[in-house]
Structure 1
């Protein structure tokens, strides 16, 4: 009857069964069924309870059963029989405990794997939010400053800047809304999977950046073809982050983006004619800060490339400006 509560209260049931086995031994009944059931409970405890608890339960069982055997036999059995009996008891309990412990280790590994997946997903979402918002806010800030400068003298240009701000902010809100949909997908299987931006959005990115005062030239080399989604997304985010840094920190007027579709890898290169590493307090300082502590900027791009087993480099050019290059295997 006590087995009915074994799943919810294994420890009390374990104690009750040991007491029943002692009572059965006192009246001369067979006790080996109790031994098998308590051994199974030791395995259950090893799988569901802290390890010290299962170890103590195994030790208690290995103590109680030899004592019962000795009390019933009064030492009449030969020493070899006693040794064989003890070895069988120990082997049975050890097998039960090892089986339960193995189940517990598998459960712990599964939980650790789920935690790792969740952490990776959070980092991915953080990178996506940063890449989306940082670019858009940079464009909006520059357009707002330009509108303030020409509001009285050239209202037509001010209206054009405000229209660019409206367009950029709407696109950013739409992107954030798609990210929220992806976050809810785990709770709502009917949610539509958002279509992630890829290299097809580079031309639109160039148009938006031109509105912010930086002309972006995009050069396509090789045969354009569909890429693995993770490569397509990483390439676009690297271009977007590099162009954003050009707009916000370099003081450049021109930026060049080169995308080369190779047979075995995708090569991307972003260069500008800005101040490079010579501008105190400018982009070089921001980039260094991102590399050392923020986890964004160059560090984010480098992490994207490393996850895809590619190669990445970034730094000031000797002739001036800044260069970001990445090679992603396809």
Structure 2
């Protein structure tokens, strides 16, 4: 069953429907007040002179037509709809033989006032309030100037309900705008935090590459006189690592606008070695290089860790694995890691599948999908990952990370149930690992 069909009927009804229901309910109430119902000796309200005459019925029909027309316009042209509803309320008061616009005939106007106050800009909301109040006061003034009796108390009751409804609508709009502003600010903070995280990870990647360059340069310096072929090989490794690191920096830092100033750059120390050693030094254990950042090679460890948390992860690799630039390798792993974390925290599923597709030489395709909670699954982790159960900012971070690499990111429910996250990361032609 779709989410739309499962939603309550009252949430799927538009304000226009509510206005039409309010008018018809008020009209029915007004008619019932003028009829002697079972158990009553007489009707509660005396009928007007023209109430049951052709002209009175004609005015009631015209007023109802105006009200229904205004209800149909409420969703698209709320100000025009309010005018129709006010005209219907005034027109309906004549055949009823009342001294003021009845409250029952003003219910639809109250619905329109609330809709305008809660969804339209402040100036339009203010104009609607002045129009609604002005019509009631104008109707009262016309009766007084004509020397007719006027229902001042009824008019005050109508104005009081209109003012209360308008204030409630304004409050609802302010609360909604504040909530939207809060969500936008939180999403912006999530993007900034993700960029800072990317910057820190890029720093670690560069530190690792520079550490390798330092070790290779030290080895080349030691053997350049006695084993030049080994020095030439080390210089080639240095050139490859330097070019790839520079390309990764251009890809990532070119799109980042915020620098991470909190962490000071780490220093990679080159171990001191004797100046004159034999060529056999290459056979001795080399000093340890800085730890490499995680990448797709760490997927099996991620699956094992997630399995301990209660979600069995299946890793599928399509196509022959290939060496990737460190920034793309790291970003791919982070996207998969965050997606699996979302499965554990929010889906309620006990299994998920990771697919890494290497078949396209220019694109790395990543997919994480889960079947959703089973019929007998525990409800402790059944939370909407984009709504009530989670902040939804994990998806924001993944989208930002993929966007910085000029890739494509999608996330949403699967047709058969569950959730799917897909990412396509472009791979530069001829890329090699740093």
TM-score bracket, shorter-length normalisation = 0.3 to 0.5
**TM-score, normalising length: structure 1:** 0.47
Structure number with greater Rg is 2
More helix by share: 1
**TM-score, normalising length: structure 2:** 0.37
